[in-house]
A and B are shown apart, each in its own frame.
Chain A
């Protein structure tokens, strides 16, 4: 917005025109925007016509998008080739900031709005759970407390094992992998959250074991006692580094307690979460190595 109508806006007749930060030329305004996060840029877009233009600039959003945004966009249903090439970079960012389901809705990923990093969630249905089809052991429980609206509830079992795999091109960076678990069943009665601990048993006898490995040789092994009934806990399994956005990395992870001298039960398994390292939206428990 150089010399033009927008400079005259707000000026009193007869006063000398003194350009200020409100009248930065488009390129300068865009330079400032490079230093702001997505929510702040979207607030600026509401200021006036000139800022709205700068806030829509492709190069501002390209700098914020993960390097492999084309690959990520490929998972968006309905985004055909032609449509994709028409999308401005801001639209791409906005689309990826909403959860993108894949694997038949059993998994999803999304862009964290403020940082532009990718997070991913795998529902219990995307995991291989020993005995999941046997209603004596496991039942599917609908719930509002899961982003997948349903969790796997363990009534009782001797061989407790949950295994999963991911094969994905993560934007370069460091990530942490968690199992989201809850001891006890929760329900809502008269608007209040009630937790039932009736089936909880066996977790204090032996610790559960977490294992994690990647296709490029990173791995982690730890164990801990499940605890804190009544709350959703993110149990930390391990960290991994994705060094190259263009290269897929294969992750394998498991949670197990297979000591068959005792049964264990009363556990909700919601999902596996992969977050950028340091992002901990819920209570985290780190197991002992």
Chain B
């Protein structure tokens, strides 16, 4: 399969380059270079000329990679659409801009509404691949699950074991008490 290939010229002269990304379980995904470049990690590999034959990601499984690339493709398309609208003299395009922002926000909200295991995987992948927008989205989701909950409730939600001794626990409660006074 061709990797950095098919520079197609559309009617407006824009080149369209695609990149192949290979998951840890050997599934290949072909995406627009612009979308893949939302990952700083991938962008650096492309810039260093390592994209030939596809970019292998030993840390990301196919399921999660598919989702990450879905996020990147959607966001890259949104950026392209809004810059088109910005440079367009068409009033309808300009008026549609805030609506498109709302669409993106709804997309993000639905996108990150996943089970804990998937959320964990997405967070780790976004961190490893350095996709800032996705990392922020995932972290905010986790933060929302934590906000306002007591430590015991948080432990239950995330199945975290309390590994403090009673003395340690008391000491830590004291040293953090200032935040609740």
Which residues of A are at the interface with B, using a C-beta cutoff of 8 A?
Answer: 6, 9-10, 18-22, 24-25, 27-28, 31-36, 38-49, 51-52, 94, 97-98, 113
Q: Does B149 count as interface, using CB distance less than 8 angstroms?
A: yes
Which residues of B are at the interface with A, using a C-beta cutoff of 8 A?
Answer: 116-117, 119-120, 123-124, 127, 135-136, 139-140, 142-143, 146-151, 154-155, 158-164, 169, 172-173, 176, 178-180
Judge whether A24 and B180 touch: CB under 8 Å: no
Docked pose: A48 CA to B163 CA in angstroms: 5
Judge whether A46 and B160 touch: CB under 8 Å: no
Cross-chain pairs A/B with CB under 8 angstroms, 24 sampled: A6-B163, A9-B161, A9-B163, A10-B161, A19-B120, A20-B116, A20-B158, A22-B161, A31-B123, A31-B135, A35-B139, A35-B140, A35-B143, A36-B143, A38-B179, A43-B150, A43-B151, A43-B154, A46-B169, A46-B173, A47-B162, A97-B179, A98-B178, A113-B179
Docked pose: A22 CA to B116 CA in angstroms: 10
Q: Is the interface of B mostly helix, strand, loop or mixed?
A: helix
Q: Which residues in A have their C-beta under 8 angstroms from that of B146?
A: 32, 36, 40, 44
Judge whether B159 and A31 touch: CB under 8 Å: no
| New contact pairs (14) apart from A6-B163, A43-B149, A45-B176, CB-CB < 8 Å | A22-B160, A22-B161, A24-B124, A28-B127, A28-B139, A32-B123, A32-B146, A40-B143, A40-B146, A43-B151, A45-B172, A48-B163, A49-B163, A94-B179
Question: Nearest chain-A residue to B123 (Cβ)?
Answer: A28
The one of A18, A38, A39, A49 in contact with B164, judged by C-beta atoms closer than 8 angstroms, is A49
Q: Which residues in B have their C-beta under 8 angstroms from that of A34?
A: 139
Judge whether B139 and A42 touch: CB under 8 Å: no
Judge whether B176 and A42 touch: CB under 8 Å: yes
Interface centre among B124, B127, B146 (most CB of A within 10 A): B146
Judge whether B154 and A32 touch: CB under 8 Å: no
Judge whether A46 and B139 touch: CB under 8 Å: no
Judge whether A21 and B158 touch: CB under 8 Å: yes
Docked pose: A185 CA to B16 CA in angstroms: 77
Tell me the minimal C-beta distance from A192 to chain B in angstroms: 27
With contacts A20-B117, A27-B127, A31-B127 taken as known, whether A10 is within 8 angstroms of B159 at the C-beta atoms is yes
Q: Which residues in A have their C-beta under 8 angstroms from that of B163?
A: 6, 9, 48-49
Judge whether A44 and B151 touch: CB under 8 Å: yes
Judge whether B154 and A44 touch: CB under 8 Å: yes
The one of B147, B154, B164, B179 in contact with A42, judged by C-beta atoms closer than 8 angstroms, is B179
Tell me the minimal C-beta distance from B136 to chain A in angstroms: 8
Interface centre among B148, B172, B179 (most CB of A within 10 A): B179
Q: Which residues in B have their C-beta under 8 angstroms from that of A19?
A: 120
With contacts A10-B160, A32-B146, A35-B139 taken as known, whether A21 is within 8 angstroms of B119 at the C-beta atoms is yes
Docked pose: A196 CA to B118 CA in angstroms: 64
Question: Nearest chain-B residue to A18 (Cβ)?
Answer: B117
Docked pose: A39 CA to B140 CA in angstroms: 16
Docked pose: A223 CA to B164 CA in angstroms: 59
Docked pose: A18 CA to B173 CA in angstroms: 29
